[in-house]
Chains A and B, each alone.
Chain A
Amino acid sequence: MEQVGLAAATTDVTLWSLFMEAGFVVKLVMLGLIGASVWTWAIVVDKTLKYGKVRRQLDAFEQVFWSGQSLEELYRTLSDRQTSGMGAIFVSAMREWKKSFERGARSPIGLQMRIDRAMDVTLSRESETLEARLGSLATIGSAGPFVGLFGTVVGIMTSFQAIAGSKSTNLAVVAPGIAEALLATAIGLLAAIPAVIAYNKFSADAGKITARMEGFADEFSAILSRQIDEKLQQPRQAAQ
């Protein structure tokens, strides 16, 4: 008896054999979860790189912006290349400013509003690109364990059916089926845990970057409003 039990227990229990012995549904679940994990980490790598880049751009832009350089000059250098983040907000605001003044703006309030709108639109577009694909992270994080659990339940179900068929409740008979079924949950958790962590981290980062850009937009809007007032007062003074 012991001999039989031990001999049965030493059957192949490597991960590969567990995967290969699993049923069709369980295999599908496992493959899907591995795909989800790949996607999660792709997003993680992508976002880490992107957010780092965005932060560096923000720092560089702020340094240039507050260096006392002329806004016209800055606009000229930035307008002819692809910008993102604060640069994009600045360019959109300046473009609106230019358009309004080239045609000769009459109402300072209208101009202010148009500039704010333009900056808001750019800001929302920027934050959208920042938060792109974070939703799929959230989905993987919340649904991964359930998908894994589904695979496990199906696997255990089939293994119990097999037990009923073989009419043996020896642990060596039961164990491989349950192990292979549990592998599905393990992969589900493996995909879901990094996804949840990454989602929380990146959404917080995106929030911070967006807040920083909003702060810049407000500041720039204040600067432009001051400029508008000054520009509108100059013709009046000249007229008096």
Chain B
Amino acid sequence: MKTSLVTSAVLHALVLTWALVSLGSPADFEVADVEAMPVDMVPIEELTKLQQGDKEAPKAEVPSVTPTKRPDTVENAENVGENKVDIKTPPKPDAKPSNNESAAAPEKTEKALPTPDPAKEDSKEITEEKPASEPATEVASLPEPKQEVKPDPKPEEQPVEEQPAENPEAEALPDKVPTPVAKPKLEKPAQTAKTPERKNEENKKEKKKASSQNESDFNADEVAALLNKTDPANGGAKSGKTEKAFGASKTTGNTLSQNEMDALRGQIQKNWSSFAGIEGLEGMILTVSFELDPQGNIVGEPEVETTGGSETARRTMIGSVRRAILKSLPFQGLPADKYDSWREMVVNFDPSSMSIQ
């Protein structure tokens, strides 16, 4: 037995040594030399929406606005221009004549003020316009004046645009332009470019004559536009980071993505407590429309319309929905550059299934 035990031990020692030597390190897996391929999830909206760029510039892969000479000072600015402040005046394709116009605006007001008729109206307009020269965030809180201003400059733009083609003087100006643009104060524009002022004044006079013979019944909105001392074309502080490239004058079709909508829904849903056991919820739909400011806070009160369901249930649900929305303010995660698309929100509540569309 002893001999066989020794034999066995020796055999084991031999086998173990062999195993340690030959089976010791198994061959590593040969990993094929494949490079990792980055995959991006691209939402379809990126392809469908119009993106802000320069209409005259050559086409490039990514539309880009004209780069300004000064670096951006305002984050998330929406409008193109050389200003330090993002001002919500609609951008114009050609900066030079509009610049002149802005220079003209204060002059005009000075002349307009002595006229007896709209002194009160003027003061109102001025108070409304003042926020426009304040930082971008503040400006955004008053979306209404922006809308009012919009339609008016447009008729003015057309004659202004035509003018530079006729006058070589206007074209000669561009180099000097940027400095006054940067400071939309009252004094400086008066000193610079005097000739365009006259032309603008003439334009406006002509226009006024065309629109209404009486000076007394002039359009208040027009005055508002005139009182706007900031340059409409170069009002914004947004700047392209690359060479300017072909694109629309404004980014449109910029709807909220599904994720952003889901996030919004989630914020409301979180604060929407259900009323289990209420009768008459069948087929009831509550449509809530409200307006948001750029910070995601509500402007005014949410309007609730209901269809279907019983009267008592409606009343309860209107209160519940209203509370849910007010409780979830301010809405988080809404992209600032898509403010146009979420400024006015319409949210449908379906109480029978506790779902929000």
Q: Which residues of A contact B (CB under 8 A)?
A: 2, 6, 9-10, 12-16, 34, 37-46, 49
A43–B8 Cα distance when bound, in Å, is: 8
Cβ-neighbour of A10 out of B9, B11, B20, B28 (below 8 A): B28
* Size band of the interface chain B makes with A: 20 to 34
B43 CB within 8 Å of chain A: no
Residues on the B chain within 8 Å of A46, using CB: 1, 4-5
Give the shortest distance, in Å, between A45 (CB) and chain B (any CB).
4
A–B pairs, 30, beta carbons within 8 Å: A2-B36, A6-B31, A9-B28, A9-B29, A12-B25, A13-B25, A13-B26, A14-B20, A14-B24, A15-B19, A15-B23, A16-B24, A34-B12, A34-B16, A38-B8, A38-B9, A38-B12, A39-B5, A39-B8, A40-B8, A41-B7, A42-B1, A42-B4, A42-B5, A42-B7, A45-B7, A45-B8, A46-B1, A46-B5, A49-B4
B20 touches A15 (CB 8 A): yes
Q: Is the interface of A mostly helix, strand, loop or mixed?
A: helix
Residues on the A chain within 8 Å of B24, using CB: 14-16
Q: Is the interface of B mostly helix, strand, loop or mixed?
A: helix
Residues on the B chain within 8 Å of A49, using CB: 4
Cβ-neighbour of B4 out of A10, A13, A37, A45 (below 8 A): A45
Residue in chain B with minimal CB distance to A43: B4
B28 touches A42 (CB 8 A): no
A37 touches B12 (CB 8 A): yes
Residues on the A chain within 8 Å of B31, using CB: 6
Residues on the B chain within 8 Å of A10, using CB: 28
Give the shortest distance, in Å, between A22 (CB) and chain B (any CB).
15
Which residues 173-212 of B sit at the A interface, judged by CB distance below 8 A? none
Cβ-neighbour of A16 out of B3, B20, B26, B29 (below 8 A): B20
Residue in chain B with minimal CB distance to A18: B24
A41–B6 Cα distance when bound, in Å, is: 10
A14–B12 Cα distance when bound, in Å, is: 18
Residue in chain B with minimal CB distance to A2: B36
A41 touches B26 (CB 8 A): no
Residue in chain A with minimal CB distance to B6: A42
Give the shortest distance, in Å, between B279 (CB) and chain A (any CB).
51
